């Protein structure tokens, strides 16, 4: 993750926002709002992409690939 803090941060913050929204639906007393487990899994996927992606301005050496 060295050097890719921007991408990781955006991925994690996006996932937190989606999961927080779904949790609010889960604990809401309004029967019209529905918890969506697929959205939670999609959020986890976004977090994973953000964690493993590398920023455009980071070289392979800086990221520890080479």
Tens digits of residue pLDDT in 10-37? 999 999 999 999 999 999 999 999 999 9
Tokens found for residue 29: 């007393």
Residue 22 lies in a domain: yes
In total, how many domains does the chain have? 1
Report the C-alpha gap between 9 and 26 in whole angstroms: 25
Q: What range defines the domain where residue 42 resides?
A: 5-55
Residue 53's pLDDT is: 80
Residue 36 lies in a domain: yes
Q: What is the pLDDT of residues 42-66, one digit of tens each?
A: 999 999 998 888 777 766 677 666 6
**Residue with the two structure tokens 């007393």:** 29
Is residue 40 scored above 90 in pLDDT? yes
């Amino acid at each position: 993750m060295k050097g890719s803090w921007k991408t990781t941060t955006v991925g994690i913050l996006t996932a937190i926002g989606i999961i927080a929204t779904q949790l609010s639906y889960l604990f809401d007393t309004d029967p019209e709002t529905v918890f969506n487990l697929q959205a939670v899994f999609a959020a986890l996927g976004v977090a994973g992409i953000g964690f493993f992606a590398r920023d455009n301005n980071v070289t392979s050496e800086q990221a520890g690939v080479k």
